[in-house]
């Protein structure tokens, strides 16, 4: 059974997102050992580019402490896949590693130091999603992938 670590900056505030996240965590647990590491977001002191970079590096320091196994970051410039391609990717990855860490950045994204340390970058869309909602989307796609891999009727 593969171990999946989701490393996410920022907490979930909305109860409807928490409910959805908990539902997919419960569903995924029969296919993977899954953990979510929720890290505090370091907010920049201003919208100045330098202040944003400093905050991203502070986030990066915390992220690096949690990365285990094969690191993947969610990034708009990453490779795009449909659900079947993602399930094939996940299945192939599970044959070569026992643990992956998927990183979701904060509202300002991820630092270049994290992106360069990731072995892969995945984009779920060219659109920008709130990082809180992205966590739910990721979990749904992980569950969908496992149902595809195990030939269970969920994916259409």
Q: What is the pLDDT of residues 98-111, one digit of tens each?
A: 999 999 998 888 99
Q: What is the pLDDT of residue 43?
A: 87
Stated pTM of the model: 0.93
Instruction: Please report which confidence band the pLDDT of residue 156 belongs to, taking 50, 70 and 90 as the band edges.
Output: low
Give the 3-state secondary structure of residue 144: helix
Fold of the domain built from segment(s) 2-149: Alpha/beta knot (3.40.1280)
- CA 8 to mean position of chain CA atoms: 7
Tell me: the pLDDT tens digits for 108-136? 889 999 999 999 999 998 888 888 899 99
Q: What band does 75 get if pLDDT is binned at 50, 70 and 90? A: very high
Percent of the chain predicted with pLDDT > 70: 99
Q: Tell me the sheet residues that pair with 85.
A: none
| Residue 53 pLDDT > 80 | yes
What radius of gyration do the chain's Cα atoms show? Answer: 15
Tell me the domain boundaries of the chain.
2-149
By C-alpha distance, which of 29, 138, 51, 27 is closest to 86? 138
Closest CA to 6 of 125, 75, 99: 99
The per-residue pLDDT of the chain, averaged, comes to 93
| Digit-coded pLDDT (tens) for 7-52 | 999 899 999 999 999 999 999 999 999 999 999 988 888 888 889 9
Residue 154, pLDDT above cutoff 80: no
- pLDDT interval class at 155 (50, 70, 90): low
C-alpha span between 66 and 55 (Å, rounded): 18
């Amino acid at each position: 059974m593969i171990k999946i670590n989701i490393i996410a900056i920022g907490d979930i505030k909305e109860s409807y997102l928490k409910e959805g996240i908990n539902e997919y965590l419960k569903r995924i647990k029969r296919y993977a050992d899954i953990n979510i590491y929720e890290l505090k977001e370091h907010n920049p002191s201003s919208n100045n580019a330098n202040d944003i970079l400093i905050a991203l590096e502070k986030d990066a320091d915390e992220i690096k402490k949690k990365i285990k196994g094969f690191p993947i970051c969610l990034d708009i410039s990453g490779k795009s896949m449909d659900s079947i391609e993602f399930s094939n990717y996940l299945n192939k990855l599970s044959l070569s590693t026992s643990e992956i860490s998927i990183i979701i950045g904060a509202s300002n994204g991820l630092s270049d130091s994290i992106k360069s340390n990731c072995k892969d970058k995945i984009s779920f869309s060219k659109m920008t999603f709130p990082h809180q909602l992205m966590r739910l989307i990721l979990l749904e796609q992980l569950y969908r992938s496992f149902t595809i891999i195990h030939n269970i009727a969920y994916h259409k």
